[in-house]
Amino acid sequence: MRFSRTLKALGFTVATALAPLMASGAQAAGTITVAVAIDPGSWDPIDTFLVDWSSAANNIYDGLTARGADMKLKPGLATSWEFLDNNSRIRFKLRQNVKFHNGEPFNAAAVKFTFDRLLGEEGKKGPQQSNYNTIDHVEVVDDSTVDFVMKQPDPVMLTKLAGYGAMIVPPKYIQEKGDDYFNTHPVGTGPFKFVEYNPKVSLTVEAFPEHWGGAPKLDRVVTRFISEANTQVAELQAGRIDVATLIPFGLAPTVEKSSSLDLISITGPTVVSLRLNTKNGITKDENVRKALIMGIDRDAIIKAVLLGHAKPIASFQSELSFGYDPNLKPMSFDLAKAKQLLQQAKVPAGAPVKIDFRGNDATFREVAQAAAGYLQALGLKPSLQPYEAPVLLNDIIPNGKTGEAWHQAWGGWTFDYDNTAYLMYHSGEKWNPYDNDPKLNEMLEKQRSIYDVKEREKILQEIARYVADKALEIPLYNQNTIYGVNKRVKNFDAPSDRRFRFVETTVE
């Protein structure tokens, strides 16, 4: 099978208009320049779920807990915590003598303000509130102690407090300046403080010497928004950026062979699947769904399209995820068995299989083309339907308007299968437009009430096996996190989830 290659020549994709402006950025003493794909548009923690937000804002803010590139949970703005009242209350002891970038003191009142805001009307406007709605309210015990009073147990809460919506924000600053101003002029307690934001162009932050963890070794971090992967590589090669987060698989060997660049390819959280319509079309039939899984050679796609920078998966999670079961193996490629299942299900030759996908994802377009080739070999009639990402994610999928299969990529930022499985498979959730399985609902709800690690892991693994047995999706691959990094960058601790924290990093 031949796979299309749509990569353009590098020289024709550079954003030349920006080159004079940025030419010296990556080379400035003590400055690191990082390229990400998307400008989030707001730097308020409650306004986004984008990884590219955290790639930059993780340097501006702190949470009560923290998680480094080693994936281990550790104290952040809270130095310790304990579970009280039969796990219905979590008490946090807060770090003292911490200041926000504007000089405002960090204290229990700031924590209460942050979560009152997140769980209130302002939080309703963004996508983060639902991650924290197991919290009923926050009580101030004293200036350095707060209690989280829980509506129900939440075994993932401590991890959630290390990211995104739970980042602690300054009450006085927001009350005086307003939410709109805060969106574009963020203030936190992190190791870097805001300097300048040019929408669609860049965000600049500088070292905050008074950070409670010590001053970072860099002077500045410049985050540039470059949506084209080829352009990121060209800027990396030209020395105008130090870290590229979009490396087309076809160009990975080019970066790897460069004398001035390093290619870093590590297991990441991102998994990719073709979710299946279990309500309409031929994919209503469980055996047909299994035939589609068997009929696509995922190992061949990983080798030919992703050039080996991925691993096959049996469930919609990476090996880094809590709940991963190493004993659950992917269904093997078996064209003859797949054809037999289709015949037994009396699927007519030429039956349609429409694949909906994000049209801006050039890599997945190739994956979809390859998958379509295999489906055609099964005697089916596949078709590819690209959509703008917001249309697919906010209309087609949640409103149950998909074809037989649709593209789902998921990062699982908590590295806990709950964050994936509940949102994908529980009835009524945005990403589950078709199923209402009482047994699956019960398992998903049960594990959310359990703090015992081993018991909860057992249930999560049972959920993964159940979903695999029902063939609710075609698990394709766990995609590596790939960086291109200039060799002048030292002590770069590459995070698998792209949540950079440039405290120890230096440049030469």
- In 3D space, the residue among 275, 264, 250, 227 whose CA is nearest the CA of residue 410 turns out to be 275
Is residue 140 predicted with pLDDT exceeding 50? yes
When pLDDT is averaged across residues 416-427 and rounded to a whole number, the result is 94
pTM of the model: 0.84
* pLDDT score at 29: 63
Please identify which residue in the block is written with the tokens 């906010």: 394
When pLDDT is averaged across residues 270-298 and rounded to a whole number, the result is 97
Pairwise pLDDT comparison (243 vs 19), residue with the higher score: 243
State CA 278 to chain mean position distance: 26
SS3 426: coil
* pLDDT score at 120: 96
* pLDDT score at 347: 97
Instruction: Determine what percent of the chain is predicted with pLDDT higher than 70.
Output: 94
Rounded Cα–Cα distance for residues 185 and 42 (Å): 9
Rounded Cα–Cα distance for residues 267 and 256 (Å): 17
* pLDDT score at 464: 98
Return the exposure string of 425-456: e unless at least 16 CB atoms fall within 10 Å of the residue's CB, then b. bbeeeebbbbbebeebbebbeebbebeeeeeb
CA angle, 122 then 128 then 133, to 5°: 85
pLDDT digits (tens, 9 = 90+) for 441-474: 999 999 998 989 999 999 999 999 999 999 999 9
Instruction: Determine what percent of the chain is predicted with pLDDT higher than 90.
Output: 86
* pLDDT score at 68: 80
CB atoms within 10 A of CB 36: 26
- In 3D space, the residue among 217, 221, 219, 237 whose CA is nearest the CA of residue 229 turns out to be 237
Q: Tokens at residue 140, please?
A: 């101030």
pLDDT digits (tens, 9 = 90+) for 356-375: 999 988 889 999 999 999 99
pLDDT digits (tens, 9 = 90+) for 152-205: 999 999 999 999 999 999 999 999 999 999 999 999 999 999 999 999 999 999
Q: What is the DSSP letter of 255?
A: H
Rounded Cα–Cα distance for residues 21 and 2 (Å): 41
Is residue 411 predicted with pLDDT exceeding 90? no
The phi and psi torsions of 492 (rounded to 5 degrees) equal -90, 110
Task: Answer whether 23's CB lies under 8 Å from 14's CB.
Answer: no
Q: Tokens at residue 270, please?
A: 């991102």
pLDDT digits (tens, 9 = 90+) for 30-39: 999 999 999 9
The chain-wide mean pLDDT, for the chain, equals 92
When pLDDT is averaged across residues 497-505 and rounded to a whole number, the result is 95
SS3 365: helix
Rounded Cα–Cα distance for residues 95 and 363 (Å): 45
Pairwise pLDDT comparison (405 vs 393), residue with the higher score: 405
Is residue 21 predicted with pLDDT exceeding 70? no
Task: Answer whether 482's CB lies under 8 Å from 251's CB.
Answer: no
The one-letter amino acid code at 252 reads A
* pLDDT score at 362: 83
* pLDDT score at 394: 87
When pLDDT is averaged across residues 291-303 and rounded to a whole number, the result is 98
When pLDDT is averaged across residues 90-101 and rounded to a whole number, the result is 98
* pLDDT score at 24: 42
Least confident span in 69-73, 262-266, 344-348, 398-402: 69-73
101 contacts: CB under 8 Å, gap ≥ 6: 60, 187, 188, 189, 193, 194, 208
Write out the H or E segment, with its range, that includes residue 374. Answer: helix 362-377
Please identify which residue in the block is written with the tokens 């309703």: 124
Q: How are strands ordered across the β-sheet holding 405-410?
A: 310-311, 473-479, 271-276, 405-410, 352-358, 381-387
Task: Answer whether 48's CB lies under 8 Å from 58's CB.
Answer: no
425 contacts: CB under 8 Å, gap ≥ 6: 432, 435, 437, 440, 444, 463, 467, 472
DSSP 263-280: EEEE--S-EEEEEE-SSS
* pLDDT score at 26: 57
- Bridge partners, residue 486, by sequence: 261
- At 28, the pLDDT band (50, 70, 90 cuts) reads low
Q: Where are the alpha helices (DSSP H) in 106-201?
A: 108-119, 121-124, 157-160, 171-177, 179-184
- At 412, the pLDDT band (50, 70, 90 cuts) reads confident
* pLDDT score at 18: 38
